[in-house]
Amino acid sequence: MPVPEADVSSISKGARVAFTVPAYPAETFYGIVSRVARSMDAKTRSMPVELDVANASGRLAAGMYPSVKWPVHGSQKALLVPLTSVVTTSERVFVIRVREGGAEWVDIKKGATQGDLAEVIGPLAEGDAVLRRGTDEIRPGSRLNVRVAAAK
């Protein structure tokens, strides 16, 4: 299974990895990282990793397409924001932080997604207010009249 280049440093032999397959979407299976290729695929910028999976029941079959939950642990602190907060243009990826009633574009790196949330890495701090629906039409310095949404 390919692991994105940005995450390979966190994959270690012997790690327990959870995955699902479309045939059994409500069931989680587990495998153990047995081999890491240590050779990057130039086209996909990913590295093959093999898992050993116990399949005593025979329910898993060759050719099934797993959705893997890689146990990656980055060195940078990441925050979660709504997917709709992340703005992607041809020049940058950013969120709009509300600072003193004005819009501030904050460049971020988008990480993994979890449902309707995206992991973001950048100069944000826990508690920073970001717009739920970002757009490049809201220019830096624009005055904002915002309503604070209750946390879920």
Condensed to tens digits (0 to 9), the pLDDT of residues 11-37 reads 888 989 899 999 999 999 999 999 988
pTM: 0.54
Q: How far is CA 151 from the centre of its chain?
A: 21
Evaluate whether 84 touches 134 at the Cβ level (below 8 Å): yes
pLDDT band for 75, please (50, 70, 90 cuts).
low
Interval 84-97 mean pLDDT: 95
Condensed to tens digits (0 to 9), the pLDDT of residues 40-62 reads 888 888 889 999 999 999 999 99
Structure-token pair, residue 139: 């220019």
Structural domains in the chain? 2-69 (2.40.30.170), 76-152 (2.40.420)
pLDDT at 111: 80
Structure-token pair, residue 104: 């501030």
